[in-house]
Structure 1
Amino acid sequence: MVSYIQVSFQGDGAGVGGLAWGQQQVWRAIVEVGTSMSMGGAVPVTDGRGVEDIACELRFLMGRYAALRSRLVFTEPWHATSVDACHLVQQEIVAEGTAVLEVHDAGPDEDPAEIAGALFAEWKARNFDYEHEWPIREAVVRRDGTVTHVVVQVSHLVADGSALGTMIRSLFSRESPYTAMRPLDLVAAQRSSSRTTDAAMRYWEAALRPLPPRRLPAAVDRGEPRWRQVVWRSTALLLASQRAAALLGTDTGSVLLAAYAVACNEVTGQAAPFATQVIVSNRFRPGLADVISPLAQNGLAVLDVSGVPAGEAVDRARRAFLNASKHAYYDPAARLALFDRLGGVDLAVFYNDRRVGILEAQGAPSEVPTAADIEAALPLTALVSERPLPFFNEQLMVNVDDVVDTMQLTVEVDTHHLAISDLHRLLLAMERFAVALGQAASDQAASDQAGSGQAALGQAVAST
């Protein structure tokens, strides 16, 4: 049985304006892929909260965060379906209104967890009505009057993972004022940031002009499902990246990006500089840490790893990611204009390290993993799942997931450009690069200074 509670709300920041830069990028992807790219989940409730408590939480979130009180406005019908109209889409934020909290009561023979899971799956499969529906859905599941689960789904158009974390944390500190920019303030600030966009476009153009036209081979129909998703785990990759990062005085992200670059070149047979778009959160920028909006944009990382020592490849990856991050905040229309001016650019290879929660929670390991630890973990490497996708709008995307105690990569691929067998080779090549790097130095090197540790690794590993 399902009932509905009307939750009234009111808040500041009302008005009408365009989409922020990150929203434009998300909206373009939504139109291309045809899904809302939503976030959320079904979570057990074990602290005794009741329906009224959850309703109060929803009222608090709707009032505090203007993004949740937004709907899209399409001044022309074609704006809703064209990837070229992202800069023309408007959003309207209201000062007050009513949200709905669904209440699902489990029957005597029903499992509340199954009800919650099925509801979230149904919501995940159903796109938001961007013009008429609030960008948040919430429900509770009860058994005999006791709340067992809460189900929440948020449209990616109004929040990213970091923004969702900010909203969740605010439920535990509701008295603290919210001082971050609201969506329309962010739009106004970006409108006056032409110098930032100009600097970013100068970097992109200088980086792109020397590159060959393709990242991956031309499309070939191999008679296999075209779009695939692979989930793969390697504890050895985690431990090796931690060890190498400690020895080199760097971060695991740089090790993984270098491994990706070396593995891609190995599998495709290329010797040209490796280029990939990287997803940059932009929350390190002043005033953006707690903004409730999707702030991530594509950066461009270019690094030449052909024939260089593995330690040098990692350092180049670190510098490439820094450059990409520095120039990943721009008006998306300017980048599209640059691509047109360059005559079309094939940049459909991506890297997305989305481990924010795990890295914040765990930080660096208390003890540097040993070469023996890495060796012992190699048999644990496994393919978790492999499934066809209904559509994939790029050629290759490697995502580093927020998973504890292992390295999980979720990879989407267009097999017309990279055969599934070559993708498997690529993943193992990434692991092999990191393992060789992690095992190359003696235990004594772990106590060296970062500079001397890197020199030792550079001498020990010519390349992989």
Structure 2
Amino acid sequence: MQRITVFFEGDGAGVGGLAWGQQQVWRAMVEVGTSMSMGGVVPVTDGRVVADFADELRFLMSRFAALRSRLIFTEPWHATSVDACHLVQQEVVAHGEAALEVHDAAPGEDPAAVAAALYAQWRARNFDYEHEWPIREAVVRHDGAVTHVVVQISHLVADGSALGTMIRDLAARDPQAPPPMPPLALVAAQRASTRQTDIAMRYWETALRSLAPRRLPEAADRGEPRWRQVVWRSPAMLPAVERAAAVLGTDTGSVLLAAYAVAFNAVTGQTAPFATQVIVSNRFRPGLADVVSPLAQNGLVVLDVDGTTPAEAVDRARRAAMNASKHAYYDPAARLALLDRVGPVDLAVFYNDRRVGVIEAQTARDTVPTAADVEAALPLTELVSERPMAYFNEKLMINVDDVVDVVQLTVEVDTHHLAIGDLHRMLAAMEAFAVSASADQAVASM
């Protein structure tokens, strides 16, 4: 393996704290003990050589101050405590050097396998937050030609949308385009946003005080692997939620959230308002669309679906989601202090609609899906995979995946709180709700 030294320089240098989204990510990273990194292996088919990738890495490091950042732990325990997020510092440097790794596949060796093995090694090794840049990049060569590029980026400095910004700017290479807001400028702006935090905390406190302390049953060992990941796919659910959204004049996200709320309460036997934390990107806020930093924070959805029709449940979900998004930008320390003051409320139930590319790529349908479209796809519902997890730091999290042509859900669950059989029933109930919401008789009242 060869290392190519890449020199870089850029603006935004200094020392400061972590931005709000970074604090949330850092807390999660400490809890699960991983860098929660993003990236992958991409085949190279356009003839680029090692020097081209060195230039690309130089561009990324120079343009995006987040990639020139490393952490400073004033006290050693700051690196391991979930309660020290607000004490962790970051330093952005003005210039320095990074390394592009070059791996040569041996004669007869599959370069794709070499690239995949390297990425697996990287994923198994946490970033050295104090001494390593939060980006790793390598190329794999075979017979002298570059066949693959491997990239890994720590979640502490970017989320999926930030990666999109970096990819777009890398393709454009416009020397006149001003760089996005650097992380320390974002930190300064957030510190001045005390009113935003105050408004958000008033919403959270009212919502928290309206909830029952427990959302799921007390822990019980059922003799099955405790932490499980389930991937479930429903081709029928997509036309169902599209049909319901079209008739109700809303978005598919509201239909899916309502399906979750109704199914959760049905399976757990609750009539109290449904509550879940949701992941809100915050990129809809002025000036934040292209910031290279994790901007997502937890929002809180509270939704009463007891005795509602599907159409009513969808409308309430739409309004609840808007309220959650509006109040999901705040100083995390203020939220933690509020939770301590209000007392124990079980908030370990999550929902994350991570459809970005799918939604952006959607075009208006010429026709609304029919009930026959939904019915024809119902036999195609499948459990794609189910595997044990080494650890899961919540009780239930449903992710709506960014997959075309179907609704695909990736679910993590603590079976001490929700048995795997109950989870399967919940997924089936979500699909049944979507089908019901798409039926003419269900939406005619709106």
- TM superposition score category, shorter chain reference: over 0.9
The corresponding residue for 1:446 is none
Paired with 1:318 and 1:385, the residues of 2 have a C-alpha distance of: 30
Q: Is the 8 A contact 1:5 1:101 kept in 2?
A: yes
Deviations 1:179-208 (A, max 9, x none): 431100000000011100000000000011
Q: Is the 8 A contact 2:247 2:443 kept in 1?
A: no
Give the RMSD, CA atoms, in angstroms. 1.1
Deviations 1:305-334 (A, max 9, x none): 011010010010000000000000000000
In structure 2, the CA distance between the partners of 1:457 and 1:427, relative to structure 1 (3 Å rule), is farther
Aligned to 2:444, what secondary structure does the other structure show?
A: helix
The corresponding residue for 2:52 is 53
The corresponding residue for 1:413 is 413
Paired with 1:214 and 1:165, the residues of 2 have a C-alpha distance of: 38
Deviations 1:21-58 (A, max 9, x none): 00000000000000110001101111221111111111
With structure 1 as the length reference, what TM-score do the two structures score?
A: 0.94
Q: CA deviation at 1:376?
A: 1.0
Is 2:256 the counterpart of 1:261? no
Q: CA deviation at 1:355?
A: 0.6
Is 2:19 the counterpart of 1:20? yes
The corresponding residue for 1:292 is 292
Segment drifting more, 358-367 vs 328-337 = 358-367
Q: Which amino acid in the other structure matches residue 76 of structure 1? A: E
Aligned to 1:91, what secondary structure does the other structure show?
A: strand
Q: Which amino acid in the other structure matches residue 271 of structure 2? A: A
Paired with 1:455 and 1:4, the residues of 2 have a C-alpha distance of: 62
The corresponding residue for 1:237 is 237
The corresponding residue for 1:135 is 134
The corresponding residue for 1:317 is 317
In structure 2, the CA distance between the partners of 1:68 and 1:179, relative to structure 1 (3 Å rule), is closer
Paired with 2:64 and 2:425, the residues of 1 have a C-alpha distance of: 45
Structure 2's unaligned 5+ residue stretches are none
Structure 1's unaligned 5+ residue stretches are 442-453, 459-464
Count residues in correspondence. Answer: 445
Aligned to 1:417, what secondary structure does the other structure show?
A: coil
The corresponding residue for 2:109 is 110
- Once the two structures are superposed, the pairs formed by residues 387-398 of structure 1 within 5 Å of their partners are 387-398=387-398
Segment drifting more, 362-371 vs 196-205 = 362-371
The corresponding residue for 2:143 is 144
Q: Which amino acid in the other structure matches residue 83 of structure 1? A: V
Aligned to 1:113, what secondary structure does the other structure show?
A: helix
The corresponding residue for 2:170 is 171
Q: Which amino acid in the other structure matches residue 68 of structure 1? A: L
The corresponding residue for 1:462 is none
Q: Is the 8 A contact 1:242 1:365 kept in 2?
A: no
The corresponding residue for 1:29 is 28
Q: Which amino acid in the other structure matches residue 58 of structure 2? A: R
Q: Is the 8 A contact 1:277 1:350 kept in 2?
A: yes
Paired with 2:75 and 2:26, the residues of 1 have a C-alpha distance of: 16
Is 2:331 the counterpart of 1:331? yes
Q: Which amino acid in the other structure matches residue 411 of structure 2? A: V
Segment drifting more, 274-283 vs 107-116 = 107-116
Paired with 2:229 and 2:254, the residues of 1 have a C-alpha distance of: 24
Q: Is the 8 A contact 1:437 1:457 kept in 2?
A: no
Paired with 2:180 and 2:17, the residues of 1 have a C-alpha distance of: 19
Q: Which amino acid in the other structure matches residue 19 of structure 1? A: L
The corresponding residue for 2:437 is 437
The corresponding residue for 2:377 is 377
The corresponding residue for 1:448 is none
Aligned to 2:229, what secondary structure does the other structure show?
A: strand
In structure 2, the CA distance between the partners of 1:367 and 1:118, relative to structure 1 (3 Å rule), is farther
Paired with 2:202 and 2:431, the residues of 1 have a C-alpha distance of: 35
Paired with 1:131 and 1:314, the residues of 2 have a C-alpha distance of: 47
Paired with 2:89 and 2:365, the residues of 1 have a C-alpha distance of: 45
The corresponding residue for 2:61 is 62
Q: CA deviation at 1:436?
A: 1.4
Deviations 1:80-112 (A, max 9, x none): 000110000000000111111111111122111
Q: CA deviation at 1:178?
A: 2.8
Q: CA deviation at 1:457?
A: 4.8
Q: Which amino acid in the other structure matches residue 213 of structure 1? A: P
With structure 2 as the length reference, what TM-score do the two structures score?
A: 0.98
Aligned to 2:178, what secondary structure does the other structure show?
A: coil
Q: CA deviation at 1:426?
A: 0.5
Paired with 2:204 and 2:189, the residues of 1 have a C-alpha distance of: 22
Q: Is the 8 A contact 1:180 1:287 kept in 2?
A: no
Q: Which amino acid in the other structure matches residue 164 of structure 1? A: L
Q: Which amino acid in the other structure matches residue 36 of structure 1? A: S
Paired with 1:393 and 1:253, the residues of 2 have a C-alpha distance of: 25
Q: CA deviation at 1:344?
A: 2.1
